[in-house]
Copies of this chain bind each other. A is one copy, B any other.
Amino acid sequence: MAREQSYTRVPKHVGIIPDGNRRWAEGHGLQKSEGYAHGVPPGFALYEALLEQGVAEATFYGFTKDNNKRAPDQRAAFTQACVDAVELLAGRDANLLVVGNTESPAFPAALLPYANRRVRFGDGRINLNFLVNYDWTWDLRKLHTDGEIASRDISRIDLIIRWGGRRRLSGFLPVQSVYADFYIVEDYWPDFCLSHLHEALDWYQSCDVTLGG
C-alpha cells in the first residue's frame, strides 16, 4: 500500500474509540448485536495504516464494565469480537497488552494469556493495547490499593480518535488522556476508511504540544 501522505509530526501514541457499531447495524437493517463483527476488519485496516505511519503505540477501546449493562446477545457479540481480533492479531506483528479486570466473570478466558503483561507476536513493530472489560474506577482504585494504576504499562496518549460522532471519553483511560488531543469522526466505526485517519493526522499536525506550560 502506498503511503498516502507523510507527516512532519506523527503522534507516538494514538487512542482509538471505535464507536457506532450498534447504530451502524440498525441503519443496515441488522440486529444491534450484529454490528460488532463488522468492527473487526476496520481494526486491521487501521492497524496496517498505523504501522505504515510509524506510530509506536496504539490503544483500542474494546469493551468496558459499563458496556456489560447491555443486552446478553450484545455482550456475547462484543466479547467474541474482542477474542476474534486478538486471534487474528496473533498472526501479525504486535506487542500486545490486554488491560482489564480479569477478576470479573465478564473477562473472556481466551484472553487471559495476554492480560496485564505484554506478549510479542511476530516482529512486534507496534505496542498495541486492548482494553477488555476495562473499568476506569478499577484502574484508578489500584492507585489506592497497589500504589500504581492498573494501566501503568500504557503510556501517555497524544491523539484520541473517536468514531460515531460523540464527543466524550466514556471512561477511556483517564490518566493517559489528560493531555490528549481529541479528533471526532462522524461516521460509524464499521464505515472506517483510511481518509479518517489521514484527516486526524493532518489536523494533529496543527495542534501545539504545551502540556499546560
Contacts and interface: CB of A to CB of B under 8 A. Distances in A.
A3 interface: no
Interface residues on A, range: 20 to 34
A170 B178 contact: yes
Nearest to A203: B167
Contacts of A177: 169, 174
A64 to B, nearest CB: 5
Contact of A207 (B166, B169, B213): B166
A136 interface: yes
Q: How many copies does the complex hold?
A: 2
B179 A170 contact: yes
B183 A213 contact: no
Given A180-B168, A181-B167, A140 B67 contact: no
Nearest to A207: B166
A126 to B, nearest CB: 23
5 contacts: A67-B213, A69-B213, A140-B140, A140-B143, A170-B210
Given A65-B212, A171-B179, 19 more contacts: A64-B212, A66-B212, A69-B212, A69-B213, A70-B213, A136-B178, A140-B175, A141-B143, A143-B143, A143-B144, A144-B144, A166-B181, A167-B183, A168-B181, A168-B182, A168-B207, A174-B174, A174-B175, A174-B178
Interface of A: 64-67, 69-70, 136, 140-141, 143-144, 147, 166-171, 174-175, 177-183, 207, 210-213
